[in-house]
Each structure stands twice: as structure tokens, then as C-alpha cells.
Amino acid sequence: MTDFLSTTRTFYDAIAEDYSERFRNELADRPLERAVLGLYAELVGAGGKVADLGCGPGRSTGHLSRLGLDIAGLDLSESMLAVARRENPAVPFHQGSMFDLPFADGSLDGVLCWYSSIHTPAAELPRLFTGFRDALAPGGHLLLAFQVGDEPRHYDQPWGHPVAIDFLRRRPEFMEDLLKRSGFTMLSRTVREATGEEKTPHAFLIAERAEASEDAEDTESAE
Ligand SMILES: C[S@@+](CC[C@H](N)C(=O)[O-])C[C@H]1O[C@@H](n2cnc3c(N)ncnc32)[C@H](O)[C@@H]1O
């Protein structure tokens, strides 16, 4: 397994229970996040087939399931998935990497990437977004959430566990440019200020998979 993937998996395997405890009820206190997720659910449409990639303990997966989407979660970390399955018994969860999706090309109406692209090095993002595009049907929707900034934040020994990782902050313009190059059309950009103990604003981008004829650079150059 690539280094950054095994670091990510080891990190979340160690902290899964503490992370889940800390964030389990966070959405209840976050009307803006609920509004973004609600808008996304409407854009996808009731019963739409969605993958929550990097679902962690399944808080966003469970929320969108309750909003009427046909959603499944996928994560690298078995410990995160154990929590997700325990807390959302009616939702299917799969172990795997979002670089190697277990979904047929064009089979999804939506991809959710809720704070889970934040450990992917910038050089790997085009490959990640191209994979999301391929899994989506034309007109399918992507929702990407991440912390805004230029510098990574290093986390060492969270909750006393002997693990460490970098949380990579990004500029919305940078992500939008990559998404457009990967065959997406931008629909909305929401940025909210840092709240509580947070250090940075948070961004929520919604994009639509372009029709085949408008597809990305790699498609054009392959002709
Ligand atoms: C900050 S947590 C967010 C979890 C969840 N989306 C939430 O908001 O609670 C990041 C999650 O993404 C997962 N992740 C990161 N990179 C991944 C990859 N390449 N494939 C699958 N899961 C990944 C991690 O294992 C972790 O559970």
C-alpha cells in the first residue's frame, strides 16, 4: 500500500473510537453543514445512489441515508468501519481505498468526500478526481468538504495514541481548478469562517460530472 495510504489507515485505526465520540453529534450543532448536505441530497434526488468515500464513523453517511439517499460508505480503516456499522446498521459499508473504487464506471449519482481528501498529496488529487468522475453517471454530483489554507496542520499523538499525520489545507480555487480539469462543472462554493477551536475556514464545493462531450483534458488528448 502506498505510504500515505498506510499512514492514514494506521492513524484512523488508532483513533476511531475517540474520533467517533468527539464528532458523533457535531452535525446537530452545525446548521450550515446540514444545509449543504440537504442541498446536495436535493441535487442528487431521492433514492439516488451515492458513495460516501472516506466515510469514517459514518456520521455523514447516516445523515444522507436519513435524507433518502441510497448511500454506501467506504473507508481505509477497519476500526472506523466497525464504528460506522455499529451506528448505522442499515447502511452498507466497504473497506477499501477511494483510489480503487468498487463501483462500476458511470454507476453513481453522487460522490461525497467529506473531509477525506485531506490526507491525499496534491500530486495525487488529479488521479483521485478522475476516479470520482469515472464512477459518476453524467450529471452526477460531487460534494467535497475540506479545511481552507496553505499550510498543513500536524497532529501528533491525538488522545494519547502513538500516531501522527498531516491534515492538508487547501484553497477552494485550487481544488476547483483541478475538478474542472478532471471533467467537472462547478455548481457552488460555500466557505464558512472558523468556529470554536478551529484554526481555519472550511469549504464545501459542489460539482457536477460534465457530459461526455465536455469531459476532461485526458479525454480530449486521447482522441
Ligand atoms: C477526517 S476523517 C473524516 C471521516 C468522515 N468523513 C467524517 O466526516 O467524520 C478522514 C477519513 O477518510 C479516510 N480516508 C482518507 N483517505 C482515504 C482513502 N484514500 N481511501 C479511503 N478512505 C480514506 C480515513 O480513513 C478517515 O476515516
Percentage of the residues of the chain whose pLDDT score is greater than 90: 92
Rounded to the nearest angstrom, the distance between the alpha carbon of 222 and the centre of ligand 1 is 32
Check whether 152 has a pLDDT greater than 50.
yes
Choosing from 75, 103, 202, 204 the residue with most ligand 1 atoms within 8 A of its CB, the one to mutate for a pocket test is: 75
Q: Give the pLDDT mean for 186-198.
A: 96
* SS percent in the chain: helix, strand, coil, step 5: 40, 25, 30
Rounded to the nearest angstrom, the distance between the alpha carbon of 60 and the centre of ligand 1 is 11
Strand-strand pairing, 108-114 and 136-147: parallel
Rounded to the nearest angstrom, the distance between the alpha carbon of 149 and the centre of ligand 1 is 19
Check whether 220 has a pLDDT greater than 60.
no
Check whether 159 has a pLDDT greater than 60.
yes
Check whether 214 has a pLDDT greater than 80.
no
In the prediction, which pLDDT does 219 show?
43
Rounded to the nearest angstrom, the distance between the alpha carbon of 54 and the centre of ligand 1 is 3
Rounded to the nearest angstrom, the distance between the alpha carbon of 3 and the centre of ligand 1 is 15
Q: How far apart are CA 53 and CA 49, in angstroms?
A: 13
In the prediction, which pLDDT does 2 show?
85
Choosing from 76, 91, 101 the residue with most ligand 1 atoms within 8 A of its CB, the one to mutate for a pocket test is: 76
In DSSP terms, 49 is beta-bridged to 70
Is residue 184 within 8 Å of residue 210, measured between CB atoms?
yes
Q: Give the pLDDT mean for 178-190.
A: 98
Mean confidence (pLDDT) of the chain: 94
Is residue 34 within 8 Å of residue 27, measured between CB atoms?
yes
Strand-strand pairing, 49-53 and 164-167: unpaired
Q: Which residues line the pocket of ligand 1, CB cutoff 6 A?
A: 5, 8, 12, 23, 54-57, 59-60, 75-77, 80, 97-99, 114-116, 119
Bigger pLDDT: 116 or 213?
116
Rounded to the nearest angstrom, the distance between the alpha carbon of 70 and the centre of ligand 1 is 20
In the prediction, which pLDDT does 114 show?
98
Strand-strand pairing, 164-167 and 153-156: antiparallel
Q: How confident is the model at residue 217 (pLDDT cuts 50, 70, 90)?
A: low
Query: What pTM does this model have?
Result: 0.95
Q: How far apart are CA 172 and CA 188, in angstroms?
A: 11
Q: Which domain holds residue 195?
A: 3-222
Atom of ligand 1 nearest to the CA of 80: 27
Which strand (E) or helix (H) includes residue 60?
Answer: helix 59-66
Bigger pLDDT: 110 or 214?
110
Check whether 190 has a pLDDT greater than 50.
yes
Is residue 182 within 8 Å of residue 126, measured between CB atoms?
yes
Amino acid, res. 27 = L
Q: How confident is the model at residue 211 (pLDDT cuts 50, 70, 90)?
A: confident
Q: How far apart are CA 212 and CA 96, in angstroms?
A: 27
Q: Give the pLDDT mean for 128-143.
A: 98
Q: How far is CA 63 from CA 52, 88, 217, in A?
A: 11, 10, 35
Q: How far apart are CA 223 and CA 213, in angstroms?
A: 11
Q: How far apart are CA 84 and CA 17, in angstroms?
A: 10
Percentage of the residues of the chain whose pLDDT score is greater than 70: 95
For the chain, the domain total comes to 1
Check whether 78 has a pLDDT greater than 90.
yes
Q: Give the pLDDT mean for 43-64.
A: 98
Q: Give the pLDDT mean for 169-193.
A: 98
Atom of ligand 1 nearest to the CA of 167: 1
Q: How far is CA 46 from CA 36, 38, 50, 65, in A?
A: 16, 11, 11, 10
Rounded to the nearest angstrom, the distance between the alpha carbon of 56 and the centre of ligand 1 is 5
Q: Hey, whose CA ends up nearest to atom 10 of ligand 1?
A: 116
Which CATH number fits the domain that encloses residue 132?
3.40.50.150
Is residue 191 within 8 Å of residue 176, measured between CB atoms?
no
